[in-house]
Amino acid sequence: MTEQAQITDSHCHLDFPDFEGELDAILARAARAGVHRMVTICTRLRNEPAVRAIAEAHAPVFYAAGTHPMSAAEEPMVTVDELLALAQHPKFVGIGESGLDYHYTSESADVQKQSLRVHITAARETGLPLIIHARAADDDMARILSEEYRNGGYSCVMHCFSSGPELARVALDLGFYLSMSGIAAFPKSGELREIFAAAPVERVLVETDAPYLAPPPHRGKRNEPAFTAHTARVGAEVFGMDYAAFAAQTEANFERLFVKTVQQEVAR
């Protein structure tokens, strides 16, 4: 019997009410599916203590924090110093998610842009990867990411990438990563799969964005980290690789970007 391939859910939201009282069972199912590690994302800094507590209580869980663009107008403007202070925690491994969302919240575009630049500065100063949410804002996103990179390099993952080929090109040219979510596994997402197929496989991660965007065969149901395996199987098909090889590649990619997770695992 061959050993099960191990993968990482690079983006989920374990603090959301959808998972309340079920975390132990959810993590057990993830482990059985080969999902041995995950990054849970705090989207409002007022919730950071609860997200941190989940990471502290569960060895496979790391965390990141920032202000989600859809909440940017409702929350106090984050500061670089706040993010630098959070980054001192050993299990805090990324900055965000931040970004731009003009699909639902275009009226707060100016505030979103300001918040995004704060997060980029924090990523640059900490050396931790920036986690980007982008929806219906490709032009502004490409421009800001490029402008800020010229001010000083930083690392970044385009979380749940579902934007167009031009933003993918800009991100990849900057050395960033694209993360494949359940959207890439939807039957009608052929154009998105083509964008991923044109990317270097060395720059691809996998994620759930749980509890959202469950891939087939669970589409329409609550997503959870175990389902990363379904998306990864589609990813393997996209790149013409067997599952174990694709899983190993995405693991190497994750560890190259989220270096702090490896450092903490070694230190345990």
- Domain presence at residue 75: yes
* Containing structural domain, residue 42: 7-267
- CA–CA gap between residue 3 and residue 53 (Å, rounded): 31
Give the pLDDT of residue 59. Answer: 96
| CB-CB neighbours of 150 under 10 Å | 8
If you average pLDDT over residues 170-197, what whole number do you get? 97
Residue type, 184: A
- Domain presence at residue 83: yes
**214: pLDDT strictly greater than 80:** yes
Q: CATH number of the domain at 199, please.
A: 3.20.20.140
- Domain presence at residue 2: no
Specify the pTM: 0.96
If you average pLDDT over residues 55-59, what whole number do you get? 97
Give the pLDDT of residue 24. Answer: 96
Give the pLDDT of residue 263. Answer: 83
Give the pLDDT of residue 1. Answer: 35
**268: pLDDT strictly greater than 80:** no
**129: pLDDT strictly greater than 90:** yes
- Report whether 117 contacts 66 (CB < 8 A): no
- CA–CA gap between residue 113 and residue 232 (Å, rounded): 32
Give the pLDDT of residue 258. Answer: 98
- Domain presence at residue 110: yes
Residue 111 has phi, psi (to 5 degrees) of -65, -40
**Contacts of 204 by beta carbon, 8 Å cutoff, 6+ apart:** 177, 178, 179, 180, 196, 235, 239, 249, 250, 253
If you average pLDDT over residues 187-197, what whole number do you get? 97
Q: Which residue has the tokens 């345990």?
A: 268
Provide the pLDDT confidence category of residue 4 given band limits of 50, 70 and 90. Answer: confident
Residue type, 186: F
The count of domains in the chain is: 1
- Domain presence at residue 147: yes
Residue 98 pairs in a beta bridge with 132
pLDDT in tens, 11-39: 999 999 999 999 999 999 999 999 999 99
Give the pLDDT of residue 107. Answer: 97
Give the pLDDT of residue 100. Answer: 98
If you average pLDDT over residues 158-184, what whole number do you get? 98
- Greatest alpha-carbon pair distance for the chain in Å reads 55
Give percent of the chain above pLDDT 90: 96
